[in-house]
């Protein structure tokens, strides 16, 4: 029997404990979780505690020494980087240089400039290694079946007249991420951290790139970092235009993507059914009828499974010719950041049109 790949997780925050550990546990026949690392011993231990029930052998690593051990351990072939948004790119590059495949959490970068320099150093050093390790960004929205299905329905709506992305978030003090220091300290605040998901959903659904934006931003709720609301128009490469509206904290939570065409409309809306959270896809047809389908969340599982399968493909082709599945590629994550970065920039300039950086 082939030996299972060994992996490590860097990070011990809420998302590691509530998503990575349980979702990885569901596919634990595919790899061995060798270590969990955090900057401090205390937080590393708390995540290891949570993981022990599924992965009894997992080792606890912390600080610079623990990180060096993971980097030097040649049995660890990939690492999940689930750290503060400001330090993820540096950490990912360090691991990639050491020849580890990396699955980095979103956002791909803290700003578009960081994504650009990160990608160019990745391309530069890849040539010195015997193979180019995979640098993937974990964006579960690209793996949610609702968006995969919504995209297929785009062929049914005819010429597109308008696209709407309406997000009324509920990021208040009851939310476990509300007090999180690095998210509050990110330029763009929660608009960037949460917004990349909604932009990823938009790009998945319409299958065309956003080329330019114009936005108004404001800071109303002083308990949140600025800005906390944004109204943007955007133009796609295929000529269509739309609006992206995001309120970080509202009393009326709603997350909706809607594409209005000459022959019908497709809408994806966050909701729940039979106690499960997920998305409802509604297809309104020209005859005034509609059909709806509910898809419970499963994007994190799908994305992890796809990444694992990419790693095993890459290991079979030792020459580094394996291309990562495009929904996981770092450039896809960078494109989401580039759009929000352009919207935030436009907001700072009172709505001046801003071109989106291409990747």
CB of 173 to ligand NAG, least distance (A): 5
174 binds ligand NAG (CB under 6 A): yes
Which one of the spans 48-56, 213-221, 260-268, 329-337 is the region binding ligand NAG (CB under 6 A)?
213-221
Strands 6-10, 32-38: parallel, antiparallel or unpaired by DSSP? Answer: parallel
First to last CA, the chain: 41
CA dist 108 and 106 (Å) reads 5
> Rounded distance, CA 137 to CA 197, Å?
12
Residues 1, 127, 181, 316: which binds ligand NAG (CB under 6 A)?
A: 181
44, 62 contact by CB (below 8 A): yes
Q: State phi, psi for 239 to the nearest 5 degrees.
A: 95, -20
Q: Smallest distance, Å, CB 294 to ligand NAG?
A: 21
| Closest approach of ligand NAG to the CB of residue 144, in Å | 21
Closer of 261 and 347 to ligand NAG (Cβ): 347
Which residues are bridge partners to 163 per DSSP? 242, 259
Alpha carbon 261 to its chain centroid, in Å, reads 28
Going from the C-alpha of 276 to that of each of 15, 65, 268, the distances in angstroms are 19, 42, 16
Q: Does 223 bind ligand NAG (CB under 6 A)?
A: no
CB of 93 to ligand NAG, least distance (A): 18
Please give the residues from 289 up to 348 whose contact with ligand NAG meets the rule CB under 6 A: none
Write down the least CB distance from residue 330 to ligand NAG, Å. Answer: 21
Q: Which of residues 181 and 316 has its CB atom nearest to ligand NAG in the complex?
A: 181
Does position 182 interact with ligand NAG (CB under 6 A)? The reply is yes
3-state secondary structure labels for all residues of 307-321: HHHHHHHHHHCCCCC
Q: Is the bond into 227 cis (omega within 30 degrees of 0)?
A: yes
> 211, 231, 313, 315: which one contacts ligand NAG (CB under 6 A)?
231
Nearest C-alpha neighbor of 68 from the set 35, 42, 46: 35
Single residue of 32, 87, 216, 243 touching ligand NAG by CB under 6 A: 216
Taking CB under 6 A as the binding criterion, the range among 229-237, 254-262, 278-286, 288-296 that sits at the site for ligand NAG is: 229-237
Distance CA 55, CA 243 (A): 45
The answer to whether the Cα torsion of 65, 66, 72, 73 is positive or negative is positive
239 Ramachandran zone, left/alpha/beta (phi>0; psi -120 to 50): left
Position 253 contacts ligand NAG (CB under 6 A): yes
Nearer to ligand NAG, 155 or 252 (CB): 252
| Range in contact with ligand NAG (rule: CB under 6 A) among 46-54, 122-130, 172-180, 349-357 | 172-180
Q: Is residue 121 within the footprint of ligand NAG (CB under 6 A)?
A: no
By CB under 6 A, name the one of 19, 164, 170, 208 that touches ligand NAG. Answer: 170
- Alpha-carbon span 257 to 268, nearest angstrom: 5
Q: Does 218 bind ligand NAG (CB under 6 A)?
A: yes
Hey, which residues does 241 pair with through a beta bridge?
235
State in angstroms the smallest separation of the CB of 134 from ligand NAG: 28
Contact between 43 and ligand NAG per CB under 6 A: no
Give yes or no for residue 222 binding ligand NAG (CB under 6 A): no
d(CA 170, CA 233): 23
Binding site for ligand NAG (CB under 6 A): 86, 170, 172-174, 181-182, 185, 216, 218, 220, 229-231, 251, 253
């Amino acid at each position: 029997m082939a030996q299972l790949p060994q992996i490590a997780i860097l990070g011990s925050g809420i998302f590691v404990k509530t998503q990575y550990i349980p979702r990885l546990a569901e596919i634990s026949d595919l790899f061995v979780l060798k270590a969990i690392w955090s900057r401090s011993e205390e937080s590393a231990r708390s995540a290891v505690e949570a993981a022990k029930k599924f992965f009894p052998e997992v080792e606890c690593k912390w600080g610079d020494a623990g990180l060096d051990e993971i980097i030097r351990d040649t049995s660890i072939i990939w690492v999940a980087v689930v750290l503060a948004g400001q330090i993820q790119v540096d950490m990912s590059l360090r691991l990639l240089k050491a020849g580890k495949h990396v699955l980095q959490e979103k956002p791909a970068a803290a700003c578009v400039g960081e994504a650009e320099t990160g990608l160019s150093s990745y391309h530069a050093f890849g040539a010195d290694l015997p193979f180019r390790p995979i640098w993937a960004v974990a964006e579960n929205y690209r793996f949610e079946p609702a968006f995969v299905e919504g995209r297929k329905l785009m062929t049914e709506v005819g010429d597109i007249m308008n696209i709407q992305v309406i997000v009324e978030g509920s990021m208040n003090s009851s939310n476990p991420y509300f007090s999180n220091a690095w998210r509050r300290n990110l330029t763009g605040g929660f608009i960037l951290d949460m917004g990349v998901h909604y932009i990823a959903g938009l790009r998945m659904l319409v299958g065309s790139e956003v080329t330019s934006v114009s936005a108004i931003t404001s800071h109303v709720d002083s308990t949140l970092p600025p800005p906390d609301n944004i109204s943007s128009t955007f133009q796609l490469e295929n000529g269509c235009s739309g609006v992206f509206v995001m309120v970080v904290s509202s009393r009326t939570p709603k997350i909706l993507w809607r594409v209005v065409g000459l022959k019908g409309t497709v809408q994806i809306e966050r909701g729940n059914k039979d106690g499960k959270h997920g998305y409802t896809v509604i297809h309104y047809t020209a005859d005034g009828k509609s059909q709806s389908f509910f898809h419970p969340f499963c994007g994190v599982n799908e994305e992890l499974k796809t990444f694992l399968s990419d790693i095993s493909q890459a290991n079979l082709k030792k020459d580094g010719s394996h291309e990562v599945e495009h929904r996981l590629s770092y450039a896809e994550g960078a494109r989401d950041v580039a759009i929000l970065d352009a919207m935030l920039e436009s907001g700072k300039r009172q709505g001046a049109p801003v071109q989106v950086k291409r990747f």
